[in-house]
Structure 1
Amino acid sequence: MTIFRLTSILLLSVVAASALAAGSVRYKWRDAEGNLHYTDSLPADAGVRGYEVINAQGIVVKRVEPAKTPEQRREAKVAADAARAEKDAAERQQRADQQLLAANPTEKDLIETHRQQLEMIDLQLSSQHATLESLERSLTDLLGRAAALERSDRPVPAKLAGQIGDLRRNIETQHALIERRKVERESTVKDFAKELDHYRALREKYGQH
């Protein structure tokens, strides 16, 4: 707030106080039908619709806003909550940006961090593929045993049939896990590209070339 504005507010307060003390004020208000009134006193419900205090020179020295309706109060609360949420989000983003710059002094540092994280995902994928291959070999073995029994007109034991069913379900699950991991990797690559662009913009913004 500027000194001029502060001085104006203080002066207005002094004028209002003096006018009220001197009893030389009038009130400007509207009734329920919207008709404008200038009176020396206020009706009992003036605070609901709001009013203005006017001094002898016709200057408004005080303004009382109308009372808010329940709907207006709800709207004000929604707006205040949205503004607070926006402010909180901006502060979180600022902290995240500061951490990003502090953790990665150079662009090469960030690229290396991305490479290491992708390498971890690739290792997990490799492990999942190895598990899948092992399950498929086991299934092939059990299916071979079951086929041999059928060729010799011998029934396939319930235990063997159950093992075959379990392996097939495990293989389906493993396939799903691998597909999810691949999707995760693709998403991570895109996120890293966006983060790198954001990092470059931050360094440009703060003059870190």
Structure 2
Amino acid sequence: MKSVVGMLALAGLLVAAPVYANKLYRFNVDGQIVVKDYVPAEYSHLGYDVLNKQGMVIKTVAPAPTADELAQRKAEEAAKKARQDAIAEQRQKDMNLLRLYAKPKDVERARQRKADEIESYIQLQRRRITDLEEKLEKSQAQAANIERKGLEVPADIRLEIVQLQNGIRDSEDNIRNRQQELGEVTRQYADQYERVRILQVYQPGVLDDEVDLDKVDQVLAERESKAAPASK
């Protein structure tokens, strides 16, 4: 019954509208349906339907968004832009990484070379400390003998002792610094190793929240399994 009443009301409105109008506009004002041959400016933000002469809807204009909807839309657009920028930045990093390492084993070889280099330097510093400690012990013994005789230790011997002590401290600092560097390098290569593993399965630019590590493990395991017989 309501639909019949509504159709009759619309028909009445259409009859009341100017007969010369090519298009009519139907909109709702405070719960009342209004049909005119134009949309008053004060109501255009409410949205409206465009009707042809037969009263059929040929176009619908949605209501203007509210302040909250505009804020939400702006936030969504900002988030989308930020994600696109993050993907572009990650893709560039990935391409640079793949230029260095094609496979995870390449990363491991590079890590081992760097670790060996740092360890060699640390061993060199330890040998230097041993050598300096032996010289320091001799210089201190020489100075002690002179003092036991009631004589003043010559300036050159005192200077040598200070220089040897400083040299030992410098080498100890060098060792600590390189050990710290080794830890940082290990973490860096571990991150690169994992990223290259991911890039064996995913395209460059993939973000962490899109990566399924279980899938990466499964795919790489399957590839290794297929490649194993061929390598025998």
Q: TM-score, length-normalised on structure 1?
A: 0.56
- Answer yes or no: is the 8 Å Cα contact 1:27–1:42 preserved in 2: no
Q: Does 1:93 align with 2:90?
A: yes
- Per-residue CA deviations over 1:150-209 (Å, capped at 9, x if unaligned) read 111112345544543344344223212202212322343344344334333332447784
RMSD: 4.4
In the alignment, the residues of structure 2 paired with residue 87 and residue 175 of structure 1 have an alpha-carbon distance, to the nearest angstrom, of 48
Q: Does 1:65 align with 2:65?
A: yes
Secondary structure at the aligned position of 1:181 is classed as helix
Secondary structure at the aligned position of 2:200 is classed as helix
Aligned positions of 1:44-123 closer than 5 A: 52-53=47-48, 55=50, 61-66=61-66, 80=78, 84-123=81-120
Gaps (5+ residues) in structure 1?
1-20, 30-34
Match of 1:147 among 134, 137, 144: 144
Identify the residue that residue 172 of structure 2 maps to in structure 1.
175
- Per-residue CA deviations over 1:16-62 (Å, capped at 9, x if unaligned) read xxxxx979557779xxxxx999996456xx99xx6545656798515
Same amino acid, percent of matched pairs? 21
In the alignment, the residues of structure 1 paired with residue 114 and residue 101 of structure 2 have an alpha-carbon distance, to the nearest angstrom, of 15
Aligned positions of 1:156-195 closer than 5 A: 156-157=153-154, 160-195=157-192
CA, structure 1 residues 55+88, in 2 after alignment: closer, same or farther (shift >3 Å)? Answer: closer
Gaps (5+ residues) in structure 2?
1-20, 204-218, 224-232
- Answer yes or no: is the 8 Å Cα contact 1:27–1:41 preserved in 2: no
For CA contacts below 8 A with separation 6 or more, give which structure has more relative contact order.
2
The amino acid of 1:130's aligned partner reads R
CA, structure 1 residues 150+85, in 2 after alignment: closer, same or farther (shift >3 Å)? Answer: farther
Q: Does 1:203 align with 2:200?
A: yes
Q: Does 1:137 align with 2:123?
A: no
- Answer yes or no: is the 8 Å Cα contact 2:103–2:197 preserved in 1: no
In the alignment, the residues of structure 2 paired with residue 184 and residue 151 of structure 1 have an alpha-carbon distance, to the nearest angstrom, of 46
Identify the residue that residue 208 of structure 2 maps to in structure 1.
none
CA, structure 1 residues 24+180, in 2 after alignment: closer, same or farther (shift >3 Å)? Answer: same
In the alignment, the residues of structure 1 paired with residue 177 and residue 32 of structure 2 have an alpha-carbon distance, to the nearest angstrom, of 72
Secondary structure at the aligned position of 1:64 is classed as coil
